[in-house]
Amino acid sequence: MPNIVVVGAQWGDEGKGKVVDVLAPHVDVVVRYQGGNNAGHTVVVGREKYVLHSIPSGILHPGCRCVIGCGVVVDPGSLIEEMEGLVRRGVTLDGNLYISKNAHLIMPYHPALDRASEAKLGPRRIGTTGKGVGPAYVDKAARVGIRMVDLLDERLFRQKLEANIAQKNRLLRDIYDAQTFTVEEILNQYLRYAGWLAPYITDTALLLHQWIERGYSVLFEGAQGTMLDLDHGTYPYITSSSTTAGGAATGTGVPPTRIHGVLGVAKAYTTRVGGGPLPSEMAGPIVDTIRARGNEYGATTGRPRRCGWFDAVVLRYAVRVNGLDTVALTKLDVLDQCETVRICTGYRHRGELLTEFPEEETVLREAEPAYEEVSGWLAPTAGARNEADLPAKARQYLVRLQELLGVPFCLISTGAVRDDTILCEDSPLLEWFPSVRSSLL
Ligand code: GDP
Ligand code: IMO
Ligand code: MG
């Protein structure tokens, strides 16, 4: 059974939650491999809306095992809140949720450091979610992080906490002039969390190995997006983890030889939350129109998302660094009322036309988008059950995008609910999960 990575192809919020929820009935396991509760993955089921932050978006399907892999950083308080919220709404977690022993903990000093560092950066701030994700990964790389498994060993947890508190308090007090923490306060709080989470903490790399040996199919759910990747994104305006497909192996312990394909999720336009370059950023009243129609406000922080036209340079880059086999295109309906739709096909910089995404911060800042324009379809796309149902001009837009990317689309999403999902003709999904045909047609 195939094991497939689902990865954001832009700057996050592409609709990964919806796509994972649509595919979850066709797999046995969904695993998150990086990021933390900076993610906000929305799943809409009828009139019910769920926003998942640390728990994989497969959790709404009772038969689907959900794993928080070793590459994720976990804020236990936030995770427990999310778990309680799901249980209150009738979702079963016991036997369905597994948390890696190796996943690192977000400690109370991490959000404090995140916010203090952002405040100090002033106009150069990243615009983080303030959840402490960056500082938690800093500690992981500096080899002073505290892992889930340490929560289960009180003596070791206390030792690690004491060493960290001594160092973090100096940093918070002397560099940032911010509030400090006491060991006892955190210890008591985190030991309570340990009691709650202990039944779910396990060796998930071993479990995944055993499940794959048994023939189970695994979906790897990426958080954030390609352009926020620590290595491949618009550094330093990025998140601190490997969001791209390569992260799926290191962030779970499933070897690359057991991964069979990569599906990218992209919006029919572009959004970004926080600072940093967005070459195809829209200007003028169209921004408000798109933001309102697409409800483009952060699922985690509520911040308005910046909006831009579809950027084929970014998408081609995402195809290359993730090895995308196919793309699920979301939010096509948001463009329904545009008289003209633009596609960014290159960047103009000092008389040159760049068609590959540049690495240099200065070039990105100076680059002007080169657009191709297509006329809008000015008709609703929601409710279409197959590509032939879509307005002709919308179909032309999709054909042009696929030509530019060089990979086929597998799904077209025209609304937040499960039903507003079109399975493309000859969708590569059919080879991976033949049963999607009956569920989506
Ligand atoms: P994620 O972080 O990639 O999972 O995406 P988010 O959940 O942060 O943002 C996507 C938003 O768009 C959510 O509110 C979804 O419910 C919504 N959404 C997903 N697909 C579609 C679609 O095709 N059309 C519309 N209008 N909304 C969609
Ligand atoms: P999902 O999984 C969109 C952005 C933040 C900021 C940068 C760094 O829902 O797509 P961080 O808190 O991670 O240190 O912030 O990354 N960011 C996201 N943008 N969607 C997300 O997640 C994001 N997670 C982080 O806005 O620019
Ligand atoms: Mg999101």
Clarify whether residues 288 and 340 are in a common domain. yes
Per this entry, what is the length of the chain?
441
Number of structural domains, the chain? 2
In order along its 441 residues, the chain shows pLDDT tens digits of 899 999 999 999 999 999 999 999 999 999 999 999 999 999 999 999 999 999 999 999 999 999 999 999 999 999 999 999 999 999 999 899 999 999 999 999 999 999 999 999 999 999 999 999 999 999 999 999 999 999 999 999 999 999 999 999 999 999 999 999 999 999 999 999 999 999 999 999 999 999 999 999 999 999 999 999 999 999 999 999 999 999 999 999 999 999 999 999 999 999 999 999 999 999 999 999 999 999 999 888 899 999 999 999 999 999 999 999 999 999 999 999 999 999 999 999 999 999 999 999 999 999 999 999 999 999 999 999 999 999 999 999 999 999 999 999 999 999 999 999 999 999 999 999 999 998 887
DSSP string, 292-309: HHTT-B-TTT-PBPEEE-
Active site residue 209: no
> Which of 78, 128, 238, 296 maximizes ligand 2 atoms within 8 Å of its Cβ, making it the mutation to test the pocket?
128
CA 434, CA 306: separation in Å to the nearest integer? 37
- Ligand 2 within 6 A of 10 CB? no
Clarify whether residues 72 and 156 are in a common domain. no
**168, 200, 232: which is the final residue of a domain?**
200
Clarify whether residues 122 and 19 are in a common domain. no
Helix ranges restricted to H, 265-348 = 286-293, 312-322
> Which of 6, 13, 18 maximizes ligand 1 atoms within 8 Å of its Cβ, making it the mutation to test the pocket?
18
Do the beta carbons of residue 136 and residue 152 sit within 8 Å?
no
Which residues is 421 bridged to in the sheet? Answer: 413
> Which of 19, 34, 52, 330 maximizes ligand 1 atoms within 8 Å of its Cβ, making it the mutation to test the pocket?
330
Res 1: pLDDT: 87
Q: What is the CATH number of the domain that holds 143?
A: 1.10.300.10
CA 243, CA 227: separation in Å to the nearest integer? 8
CA 359, CA 56: separation in Å to the nearest integer? 32
Clarify whether residues 241 and 375 are in a common domain. yes
- Three-state DSSP state, 180: coil
**179, 200, 221: which is the final residue of a domain?**
200
Q: Peptide bond before 123: cis, by omega within 30 degrees of 0?
A: no
Cα 432 to ligand 1 centre (Å): 24
**143, 174, 200: which is the final residue of a domain?**
200
Do the beta carbons of residue 194 and residue 151 sit within 8 Å?
yes
Q: Which of 21, 28, 41, 311 is catalytic?
A: 41
Clarify whether residues 294 and 312 are in a common domain. yes
439, amino acid identity: S
Distance (Å) of CA 277 to CA 232, 296, 305, 317: 14, 18, 13, 15
Q: E strand or H helix at 79, and its extent?
A: helix 76-88
Clarify whether residues 119 and 79 are in a common domain. no
Q: How far apart are the first and last CA of the chain?
A: 22
- Ligand 1 within 6 A of 333 CB? yes
Going by CA atoms, what residue is nearest to atom 11 of ligand 2?
128
Clarify whether residues 87 and 111 are in a common domain. no
The sign of the torsion formed by the CA atoms of 87, 92, 94, 99 equals: negative
- Ligand 2 within 6 A of 128 CB? yes
Clarify whether residues 119 and 47 are in a common domain. no
Q: What is the CATH number of the domain that holds 435?
A: 3.90.170.10
Clarify whether residues 217 and 247 are in a common domain. yes
Clarify whether residues 196 and 215 are in a common domain. no
Domain of residue 435, residue span: 4-95+203-440
Our CA angle for 167, 171, 175, nearest 5°, is 160
- Ligand 1 within 6 A of 44 CB? yes
Going by CA atoms, what residue is nearest to atom 17 of ligand 1?
416
Clarify whether residues 128 and 173 are in a common domain. yes
Clarify whether residues 118 and 233 are in a common domain. no
- Three-state DSSP state, 197: helix
